[in-house]
Structure 1
Amino acid sequence: MNTTASTVTPREAAEVAAANASGRQPVVFVHGLWLLHSSWDAWKAYVEDRGYAAVAVDWPGDEADVAAALANEGSLAGTSVRDVADHVQEVIEGLDRKPIVIGHSFGGLLVQIIAGRGIAAGTVTIDPAPSQGVLPLPVSSLKAAFPVLGNPLNYGRTVTLTFDEFRYGFANAVSEEEARALYDGFHTPAPGRPLFQAATANFNPAAKTKAAKRNADRGPLLVVTGEKDHIVPFAMANAAFKKQRKNQHHVTEIVEIPGVGHSLVIDSHWQEVADAALDFLSRNGLGA
């Protein structure tokens, strides 16, 4: 008998139950570092209006909202890529139908891991953190990661970005006013461990950031990249695309959204990104 305690929260369980009761094609959203499930609220309403059922997952240890996360900034300390991937899988296993998975940043890496486990009907990976084997390390990526990687002690800690750090990494392609609103409305402390895991993955054969890419049950996959992204520039996103297109069983595409940075899923351009994702899904037999 499996005595492992479930990591699924009441909020997640309620969304899974609603998706199952609807009979609709579920879409599971996975956020990245420095954000919470609420970063997908606009997307959830948008896809549900178009006939899907939406489920937004937490990371284990996530607080319920931004205020609580800022008040308890150590809640995610030590959280690993494997911890989150296994949690996302547990949420998915509660669904009656194989879901579409959509992830941003480290969430973009996580949905590739999930696709590699064969439990996604289709995948949209947006400005994804690098999986094992993705080699480019642009200067802007190193600069954006320095607030974490610059101190080895951050491996077991959480890190809260200053506004200037957030502005450079996330919100470089929006106005100062919008950047401030995004920082105040969405930014939360994030665990350092996943960034260290990604940074050392290509030196570790057992890296937890490995995503299987050639399996027959991976499903269609779209890589979305923002033209002005500092954290995951085109070179990194394109390297992920080149790795994923080795899959001979399913279509793999890449699309670059002009004029946007890493905040593309939460800033004023989010609907353009959502439309690109929904168009891909529709063209590949995964419409609602």
Structure 2
Amino acid sequence: MRLIRTPEWTRPVPAVRREVLSASPEADEGKPPLLFVPGFGHGAWVFAENWLEHAASRAFPAYAVSPRGHGGSGPAPKATLRAYAHDVVQVAASLPRRAVLVGHGAGALVTAYALARYPARAGVLVAPVFGGWSTLGAAVRRNPGGTLPAVFGGPLRLNRRQLFSREVPDATARGYTQRLGRASSRAQWQLLAHPEPEPPVGAPPILVLGSPDDRVVPAGELTRTARRYGAAPLLFPGMGHDLMLDARWREPIDAILDWLDKDLVG
């Protein structure tokens, strides 16, 4: 772990208004809070649809943050991955107990950066997008019209087939995709070439999960990310990239909560 990060004090991250959505359990059983981190173009709302209340029903205080420029947080057209990770760390540090960080998509990479700065109880990487040219190549093959503009500074537009399984009704999928925003052009570029995330502070347990049928994250990338943290990925066949919004959304969140109950609570 690096003790001194020069950019942290020579180029501090500007302050911004942060949107945080939450759901509280009926009784406090002392379980660690969960802080959910959405991927590029997504906001805290993607977890508020299903996962926050479900986690609270199982006695986990649940929170979701919209990184700057996403959801209801303040605008940040020049935001970097470091700025997004800063938002996560600041919100996590404000919670009443040490949190479990749960990142989705490119938010999993942001979470990996945050884990190197915040002593989380555990980390969960859901359908992690750690970027690189192989991920870009797969995205271009599957959705050239929505991917190529992002290479030249335009918005990244993921389509229905990439995000959801066929079990999600078309009207529902269309409603979700219409709510998507965009990350900053700078952050999109950094997704292609970025420093390796430092090891998590305190070596917390890390769970990696996703779908072998994900049309955003190639199966090989999912396996490589899991191996980075010394584990095999937990797989949910038949689901799309946005597991928290898919028709079978209960399966992955219950797997996460079962894992936490076993490793941290039980």
Query: Normalising TM by the smaller chain, what interval?
Result: 0.7 to 0.9
Cα drift, residue 46 of structure 1:
0.7
Task: Work out the CA distance in 1 between the residues paired with 2:167 and 2:71.
Answer: 27
Per the alignment, residue 220 of structure 1 pairs with 205
Matches within 5 A, 1:119-198: 119-130=119-130, 136-137=134-135, 139-143=137-141, 146=144, 147-150=146-149, 152-154=151-153, 159=155, 161=157, 165-171=158-164, 173-175=166-168, 177=170, 178-184=172-178, 186-198=179-191
Paired AA for residue 36 in structure 2: F
Distance in 2 of aligned mates of 1:259 and 1:277: 18
Q: Give the deviation of 1:76 after TM superposition.
A: 4.4
Q: Taking structure 1 as reference, are residues 149 and 126 closer, same or farther at Cα in structure 2, changes over 3 Å only?
A: same
Say which of 16, 20, 44 aligns to 1:7: 16
User: Please, which of 27, 49, 53 is the counterpart of residue 57 of structure 2?
Assistant: 49
Whole-Å Cα distance in 2 between the matches of residues 141 and 40 of structure 1? 24
**Is the 1:81–1:110 contact (alpha carbons within 8 Å) kept by the matching residues of 2?**
yes
Q: Could you list the per-position Cα deviations for residues 157-183 of structure 1 after superposition, in whole angstroms to 9, with x for gaps in the alignment? A: 5x263xxx4123213544562432432
Distance 1:173 1:197, change over 3 A: farther
Match of residue 5 from structure 2: none
TM-score, length of structure 1 as denominator length? 0.75
Which 5+ residue runs of structure 1 have no aligned equivalent? 70-74, 202-206, 246-251
Cα distance in 2 for partners of 1:83, 1:145 equals 28
Equivalent residue for 1:278, pick from 251, 254, 257: 257
Name the structure with the higher helix share. Answer: 1
Letter in 2 for 1:166: N
Work out the CA distance in 1 between the residues paired with 2:175 and 2:135.
29
Distance in 2 (CA, whole Å) between partners of 1:28 and 1:200 is: 26
Deviation at 1:84, TM superposition (A): 0.4
- What amino acid sits opposite 1:97 in the alignment? R
Could you tell me which residue of structure 1 aligns to residue 85 of structure 2?
85
Gaps of 5+ in 2: 1-8
In the alignment, residue 219 of structure 1 is paired with which amino acid? P
- Pair 135,276 (structure 1): closer, same or farther in 2 beyond 3 Å: farther
Letter of the structure 1 residue corresponding to residue 173 of structure 2: A
Of 18, 21, 33, 1:26 maps to 33
Partners of 1:83 and 1:5 lie apart in 2 by: 8
Q: Per the alignment, do residues 100 and 238 of structure 1 end up closer, same or farther by CA in structure 2, a change over 3 Å counting? A: same
Q: Within 1, Cα distance between the matches of 2:13 and 2:214?
A: 40
SS at 2:252's partner residue? helix
Amino acid at match of 2:207: L
**Do the aligned partners of 1:226 and 1:233 also contact (CA within 8 Å) in 2?**
no
Letter in 1 for 2:139: S
1:58 aligns with 66
Question: Judging changes above 3 Å, is the alpha-carbon distance between structure 1 residues 286 and 196 closer, same or farther for their aligned structure 2 residues?
Answer: farther
Kindly tell me the number of residue pairs found equivalent between the two proteins. 251
| Partner Cα separation in structure 1 for residue 135 and residue 152 of structure 2 | 22
Residues 226 and 259 in structure 1, CA contact (< 8 A), matched pair in contact too: yes
Instruction: Measure, in 1, the Cα distance between the counterparts of 2:139 and 2:223.
Output: 14
* Structure 1 residues 169 and 191, CA gap change in structure 2 (3 angstroms): farther
Letter in 2 for 1:191: S
Q: Look up the match of 2:241.
A: 262
Relative to structure 1, the CA distance from residue 138 to residue 34 in structure 2 (aligned partners, 3 Å threshold; closer, same or farther) is closer
Whether the 8 Å CA contact 1:103–1:110 is kept in 2: the answer is yes
C-alpha contact 1:34 1:188 (8 A) present in aligned 2: yes
Whole-Å separation in 1 of the counterparts to 2:71 and 2:40: 13
Flag the 1:58–1:275 CA change in 2: closer, same or farther, 3 A. same
Deviation at 1:113, TM superposition (A): 1.8
For the residues of structure 1 that align with 2:210 and 2:241, how far apart are their CA atoms? 9
- What SS is found at the alignment partner of 1:114? helix
1:108 maps to 2:108? yes
After superposition, the CA RMSD in angstroms is: 3.2
Equivalent residues of 1:135, 1:236 under 8 A apart? no
Partners of 1:4 and 1:33 in 2: CA distance: 19
Q: Could you report, residue by residue, the CA deviation over 1:40-67 in whole angstroms, capped at 9, with x for unpaired residues?
A: 11211111111111111111133429xx
The percent of aligned pairs where both chains have the same amino acid is: 21
Deviation at 1:188, TM superposition (A): 2.5
Provide the C-alpha distance between the structure 2 equivalents of 1:43 and 1:148, rounded to a whole number of angstroms: 28
Query: d(CA) in 2 for partners of 1:174 and 1:76?
Result: 35
* Greater than 6 Å deviation, 4+ residue runs: 2-5
